[in-house]
Amino acid sequence: MPTATKVMAGTTLGALVLATAYTVGLGGSGWVWFAWIVLGLVTVGLLTATGGGQQGRPPPHPR
């Protein structure tokens, strides 16, 4: 997995922790969770675009 992808995944997980803490401490906010979902979708898109850590692996042999 490329470094940028690792940083993005770590940021997404950190944002999940912060969103959960915000919800527990101050009450729920739809915008906080909406922003986290958008960040999660961007992370999934980055994983898909970079191959999800599949670089360096040879393609499977056809049967």
3: which 2 tokens? 């470094």
> Which pTM was predicted?
0.69
- Mean pLDDT for the chain overall: 84
Q: Is 28 left (phi over 0), alpha (psi -120 to 50) or beta?
A: beta
C-alpha pair distances (Å), 26 with each of 9, 21, 46, 51, 63: 25, 8, 31, 38, 57
Tokens 């049967």 belong to 63
Question: What pLDDT, in 10s, does the model give residues 31-52?
Answer: 998 999 999 999 898 888 887 6
- Residue 61 backbone dihedrals phi, psi, to 5 degrees: -75, 135
Residue 53 has pLDDT above 70, yes or no: no
Q: Where exactly are the structural domains of the chain?
A: 3-48
Question: What pLDDT, in 10s, does the model give residues 4-27?
Answer: 888 888 999 999 999 999 999 998
25: which 2 tokens? 């401490």
